[in-house]
Structure 1
Amino acid sequence: MSGGERCAGTARRYRDRNDTFIEIMEARQEQEHLVAIQEQCLQKLESLRQCGDKLLKEAKEAKELISNFDISPKEHDAAQMVKRAELERKEANKKEVEVKILQEEYTQLQRRKHHLLHRVQRDAVYRDFMQQALKLTRFEDEASLAGHLENLLRIREQLCEKQRLAEEQVDMQRKALLTFNSQHRLMLLQCSNQLSQLHHKLDRAQPEMEHWETKWKHIQGTAAKETLLLGLIKMAALNLYELTGGDVDGEKGVPLSDTDTQLDKLKMFMQDHKDIVRLYQGSSHRNDEEKNTLTLTQH
């Protein structure tokens, strides 16, 4: 059972007790009212009885007068007396009907009175409780205490209603949290499936990656060898350039890193020496021919 339901149950019990006390007070007031009505009815019944007795007596006297006297010149007065007696008889009958109605109402009031007295006796414990509680409070009468309790119960019901609404809000938040957790688990499952697929792709790509890593290492090794060879070539070109009298300092000198210019200078140097050797070889060949000619001439 939730806090709102417990609060509502307690409020209902307090309200039932307070309603019982209020009913006792109302029953007491109604009883006093019924007693007053009963006294009025009794007085009215007594008055109607007296009036009926008087009318019956007058009607009886009128009948006796009619039977004792013969018709005389005063017949007209006698007829009026008879008519009056008849009217009084009808009025008496009407009063008797009213008396019966009042007696029935009186009987119903008596039943209602007994019922209320039974309720008052049955709920006397609550009345005693309220009287004892009244002595412990600052209220002057039981009605003020009952009104105060009614206000407290109303406030309690409002608080219980707020608590019920808060519990409903908590239930809604709990359901939303469960929905969010379900969605979160679903997303985790989807991510796990994607991760498994990526691992599978990674496993398939691993051999190819190893192949390209091996190839890259080979390329790096070849590049290192070529770089070393290039360095040796540059050093050899620089040495040859310096051996040919090339200058690496000054304004007309070739920079150390300008291997292409150094090679061009070496090429020009070798071409010049080649031309010189060719000229030397041509001059030597002509001298040999001249020597051979002179020798032949002398012989």
Structure 2
Amino acid sequence: MSVTLSDYFKSYFAEKLQDQVLKPGDNMLDPTCRFLQKRREVMDVNEDIKLKRKDFESTLKALQVRKRWLRQNEEQFLEYLQKFDNFLEEREEKKRIAVRNAGKERELTSQKQVDLSNLREEMKAVIKKRDSLAKRVQKNAIYSCYLDEVVQANDKFQEVQQVISRYDTLLLTLEDMVLTTQQNEDSREKARAYRARFIEQSNNTLLHDNRTIAELQSQLDYACNECLIHDSNWARIQNTAAKKTLMLGTVRMAILNEFESLWKRGKDTSVSTVLPMDTPKQLAQIQTHLADLTAIWEEVSAPDQTAPEDTDKSIQFNL
């Protein structure tokens, strides 16, 4: 910092000296005088610089002292401010705690007031019940006298408590008998209800069975009718089959007779290989023979057209 200020003052006074050196009229002086003058000016400037430096150093020291004092004051102020903030926070916290405690105390006080009111009501109810019991005891005092007289008059009981125990026993027995009677009555009611449900279920089952029997009977009648229809159809089919079989036998016999007559007239060796029961082959042989006769007829009728009737008669005779 001091070096910088020294450089500043040197540059400042150097400019000032340069301005003084460049003033007009300096060239008229002797160099020695001018040197001495300049030296004197330099010494004056140095003195001024020293004075300025001392003033600056004293001012700088004062500023440093002031700065340290301000820093200390600032630290103290910040410390006081922090303490004050802590004090305010503690105060707010204490205030919140106090408000919360006050609210709790108010709630507790209200609850205590409610409890106190309830206890007063209960105390009034207890006092009322006590008075009622006292009146009841006073009213029932005649029964105590009566029980004493019963004990004195009856040798079975020595104390009033025995009479009361006997009464309690008889009362319990009566309650048991009433309960047993009620249970028996409930059992009878359940039995009646079960009997009614059983009868209803039996009737429903019987009705369902009768309906099923009727449906099965109708199905049986329908099946019998269908059986009669099928039996009649079967008899008709058998009769038709017998007729067709008879007709088929007649046709086969006719074919066999025609085939045998053809075989006897023709004496064809290929015909002898056909079995008597092979009707299709027999028909084939007959058709072949008819085709041959037709061809012969056509050959005969072609050159001779005058005697067709004789040829027809001979063909019919051969057939």
Return the TM-score normalized by structure 1: 0.33
Higher relative contact order (CA 8 A, sep 6+): 1
